[in-house]
């Protein structure tokens, strides 16, 4: 069946779900452009899509904000057509087996902070900050983090006078409990500080793989929310951030100390991570963990085919072989790009200094691979090519079959402080 919206957009396969509707792959029949189409039943008890489309239009033009192409009613549905993006950070986190390096988290943090700053600067708060709502772009925008799903967003101040909404209590929890701020759990009206606190929990989640309040059992949603709040109150910032560089704890402490109507110092919190990046001698080169792992995987497969090698283990089933191949890929990538892959160490109970973190470089260099020696020799050239910023072939991303060329821009440190990595040098103040 040929289902269309807005006459020219054909609906394809389902690719996801938002807070108030399902999302489908679509095609512009006139231009061939791929798009995303979000559908919401007109019988929905709490219709949100028209409101969300208005928010997208208002935020239009911001770096990392998808462009809305059409909104209207089609039959029994409200439909919104927007830019088609790549995988979410949650998808990529799972691809990397639920572990991001400090470098990747820092590069993401800088972009995510600036996305939130832009939304706040336009008088809205998001109120559902979570990894699923941050998506990477495709093609030329493949290294840009995008913020989506504004169905729960809210205007926190008057557009003209900038008068802040009043302080209120006894509000129901809006958003996702795992990443919700403590004040949101306590029923306090959400404001800018809550979006930023949620970001802080995401950063810890990306580094450690989980948060202490995950997996709690309860019989009702209210009981579960209460247990999550109890755990959040019992785990202080220092305990939560054990094993992470001090800047992660400093970020969360700053967010938790903000007053209800206080404007956050976005430049300060971005500078925390920018300065940490400099201390750890990282470059904001957009070479994320998944970029390097996928590239290494492609090289291994290419040279295995050329050398007629089969890395399958007959004693393992398909799932075990897949896991084994991933670990082989990660081990080789960590060895070849040893200064990139610094991770949280599970047993670490103190705050590591930059010097202690950088010691992982030497440990990565000592790693031994069980891959055949002739294969290791064959892929060395490709590895050096990537290090020198001249990949031998483009990488095909897992979603939407979009080719993404990896380029390492020559960055100069801006004396004015951190900038949005995707804003072409614009400094946000």
**Binding site listing:** 38
Collapsing DSSP states into helix, strand and coil, what is residue 238?
helix
Pick the closest to residue 133 from 19, 247, 253 (CA basis). 19
User: Phi and psi for 266 in degrees, rounded to 5?
Assistant: -65, -35
CA-CA distance, 72 to 49, in Å (whole number)?
10
The tokens describing 154, both together, are 């809210």
Beta carbons of 181 and 197 less than 8 angstroms apart: yes
CA-CA distance, 225 to 231, in Å (whole number)?
10
The tokens describing 325, both together, are 């191949």
Write the CA distances from 124 to 134, 177, 383, 395, integer angstroms: 17, 20, 44, 36
Cα dihedral 108, 67, 416, 407 sign:
positive
The tokens describing 413, both together, are 């440190």
Collapsing DSSP states into helix, strand and coil, what is residue 14?
strand
Specify the residue for token string 């009702």: 220
> Which residues, in sequence order, are CB contacts of 142 under 8 Å at separation 6+?
86, 136, 397, 402, 404
Specify the residue for token string 């807070």: 19
CA-CA distance, 113 to 109, in Å (whole number)?
6
Calculate ∠ Cα 238-202-429, nearest 5°: 95
Active-site residue set = 128
> Which residues, in sequence order, are CB contacts of 214 under 8 Å at separation 6+?
178
Residues annotated within the binding site for ATP are 38
Exposure on the CB side of residue 363, measured as CA atoms within 13 A: 9
Collapsing DSSP states into helix, strand and coil, what is residue 11?
strand
The tokens describing 196, both together, are 């930023």
Specify the residue for token string 């691809």: 95
């Amino acid at each position: 069946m040929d289902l269309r919206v807005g006459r020219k957009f054909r609906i394809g396969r389902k690719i996801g779900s938002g807070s108030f509707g399902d999302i489908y792959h679509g095609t512009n029949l006139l231009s061939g452009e791929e798009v995303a189409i979000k559908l919401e039943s007109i019988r929905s008890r709490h219709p949100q899509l028209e409101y969300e489309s208005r928010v997208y239009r208002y935020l239009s033009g911001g770096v990392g904000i998808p462009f809305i192409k059409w909104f209207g009613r089609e039959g029994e549905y409200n439909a919104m057509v927007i830019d088609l993006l790549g995988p979410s950070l949650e998808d990529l986190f799972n691809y990397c087996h639920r572990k991001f390096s400090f470098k990747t988290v820092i590069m993401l943090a800088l972009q995510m902070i600036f996305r939130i700053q832009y939304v706040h600067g336009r008088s809205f708060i998001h109120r559902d900050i979570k990894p699923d709502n941050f998506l990477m772009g495709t093609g030329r925008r493949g290294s840009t983090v995008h913020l989506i799903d504004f169905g729960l967003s809210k205007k926190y101040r008057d557009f003209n006078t900038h008068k802040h909404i009043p302080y209120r209590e006894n509000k129901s929890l809006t958003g996702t409990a795992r990443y919700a701020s403590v004040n949101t759990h306590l029923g306090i009206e959400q404001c800018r500080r809550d979006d930023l606190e949620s970001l802080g929990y995401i950063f810890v989640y990306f580094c450690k793989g989980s948060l202490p309040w995950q997996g709690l059992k309860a019989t009702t949603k209210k009981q579960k929310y209460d247990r999550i709040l109890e755990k959040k109150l019992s785990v202080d910032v220092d305990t939560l951030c054990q094993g992470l560089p001090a800047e992660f704890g400093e970020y969360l402490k700053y967010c938790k100390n903000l007053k209800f109507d206080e404007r956050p110092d976005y430049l300060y919190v971005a500078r925390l991570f920018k300065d940490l990046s400099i201390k750890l001698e990282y470059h904001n080169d957009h070479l994320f963990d998944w970029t390097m792992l996928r590239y290494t995987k492609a090289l291994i497969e290419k040279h295995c085919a050329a050398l007629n090698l089969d890395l399958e283990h007959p004693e393992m089933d398909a799932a075990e072989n897949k896991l084994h191949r991933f670990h082989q890929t990660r081990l080789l990538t960590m060895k070849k790009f040893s200064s990139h892959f610094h991770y949280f160490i599970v047993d670490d109970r103190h705050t590591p200094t930059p010097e202690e973190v950088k010691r992982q470089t030497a440990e990565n260099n000592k790693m031994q691979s069980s891959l055949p020696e002739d294969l290791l020799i064959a892929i060395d050239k490709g590895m050096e090519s990537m290090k020198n910023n001249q990949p031998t072939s483009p990488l095909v991303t897992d979603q939407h079959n979009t080719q993404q060329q990896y380029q390492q821009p020559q960055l100069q440190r801006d004396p004015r402080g951190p900038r949005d990595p995707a804003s072409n040098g614009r400094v946000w103040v």
